[in-house]
Amino acid sequence: MKAYVFPGQGAQFSGMGHDLYEQYPLAKELFQQADEILGFPLSETMFHGTEEELKQTKVTQPAVFLHAYVAFRCLADGQPDMVAGHSLGEFTALAANGCLTFEDALLLVSKRAHAMQRACEMCESGMAVVLKFDDAIVEEVCATIHDEVVVPANYNSPQQLVISGSIRGLELAMDKLREAGAKRMMMLNVGGAFHSPLMQPAQDELAEAIRETRFHEPSCPVYQNATATASTAPDTIRQNLLSQLTHPVWWTQSVRQMIADGAGSFQEFGPGTTLCGLIRRIDLSVETIGL
């Protein structure tokens, strides 16, 4: 069975999508449509913007969504048997399986990005990656810190767990992890504490937009970040999509469940091949293709 997967924030680069724009009439049409929907020339920023411009959450999220969706529409070899996306990529997955229209998905991504940007500005926060260390110990350490917010946020692969929270909370957690034997950790260059309780204001803000958006019956299951299980019911998908903002991304668990359910090939659409690399670290027996 064939699984299509879609990346999240962090995969962006200047020039993203320009080759598709030049080669495929459909790509040009979708880029122009996106600029009209959003009311500003996103495509110009994607093709010619600086790294600093592309790093802004309000730009990054719609840019990565658009690149991945256009790549899917232009390069996909048939329909998938299942889909999944990492964080922001879940919106692309839902556009790919028909649960959301292209316009609705893009508008939700834009609203999500602005809501998250505002939440990030409310307090000094961030994320850090812990490499080659026991997830259970990371979870235990985070649980011992009570006066600051710090939680496991992205279970990316068996040897990569991202934690999220206030800057002070991250510093305390990293100190305790060093004492516990962790040797490879680093702060990430992100705008705030994604997938943590500090995103509650963004979740509250996005809730109404998600409620007002029509979710259709999907053409295939989506494996959602908040549950790591297959979802096909529109109301369930809607709730899990909203929960994702403050909930950990269960990527390792999602990929393992997709494999258990029959996925033998994973095709990644969008900028970079980050997810292909993570999937290979999770299970070397499956085929991975970056498009």
pLDDT at 206 over 90: yes
Angle between helices 57-75 and 89-96 (to 10 degrees): 30
Q: What is the mean pLDDT of residues 111-130?
A: 95
Indicate the average pLDDT of the chain.
96
Predicted local distance difference test score (pLDDT) of residue 51: 86
87 in catalytic set: yes
Instruction: List every span in the chain annotated with CATH 3.40.366.10.
Output: 2-120+197-290
Instruction: Give the model's confidence band at 80: pLDDT under 50 very low, under 70 low, under 90 confident, else very high.
Output: very high
157 in catalytic set: no
Predicted local distance difference test score (pLDDT) of residue 189: 82
pLDDT tens for 164-176 read 999 999 999 999 9
Q: What is the mean pLDDT of residues 234-262?
A: 98
At the top level of CATH, the class of 2-120+197-290 is: alpha beta
Count of residues making up the chain:
291
pLDDT at 119 over 90: yes
Instruction: Give the model's confidence band at 23: pLDDT under 50 very low, under 70 low, under 90 confident, else very high.
Output: very high
Burial class (CB in 10 A: 0-12, 13-18, 19+), 12: buried
Instruction: Give the model's confidence band at 54: pLDDT under 50 very low, under 70 low, under 90 confident, else very high.
Output: confident
Predicted local distance difference test score (pLDDT) of residue 57: 82
Predicted local distance difference test score (pLDDT) of residue 185: 97
Predicted local distance difference test score (pLDDT) of residue 52: 85
Q: Which residues pair with 265 in a beta bridge?
A: 2, 287
Predicted local distance difference test score (pLDDT) of residue 56: 83
Instruction: Give 16's contacts (C-beta < 8 A, 6+ positions apart).
Output: 46, 47, 54, 63, 64, 67, 271
Catalytic, out of 87, 110, 164, 196 = 87
Catalytic, out of 195, 196, 231, 247 = 195
pLDDT at 191 over 90: no
Predicted local distance difference test score (pLDDT) of residue 127: 97
Instruction: Give 247's contacts (C-beta < 8 A, 6+ positions apart).
Output: 195, 225, 226
% residues pLDDT > 90 (the chain) = 95
Instruction: List every span in the chain annotated with CATH 3.30.70.250.
Output: 125-187
Separation between Cα atoms, residue 277 and residue 173, nearest integer Å = 27
Nearest to 65 by CA among 108, 18, 129: 108
pLDDT at 111 over 90: yes
Predicted local distance difference test score (pLDDT) of residue 55: 82
Question: The domain 125-187: what is its CATH number?
Answer: 3.30.70.250
Instruction: Give the model's confidence band at 75: pLDDT under 50 very low, under 70 low, under 90 confident, else very high.
Output: very high
Predicted local distance difference test score (pLDDT) of residue 87: 97
Instruction: Give 214's contacts (C-beta < 8 A, 6+ positions apart).
Output: 101, 104
Instruction: Give the model's confidence band at 98: pLDDT under 50 very low, under 70 low, under 90 confident, else very high.
Output: very high
Predicted local distance difference test score (pLDDT) of residue 190: 85
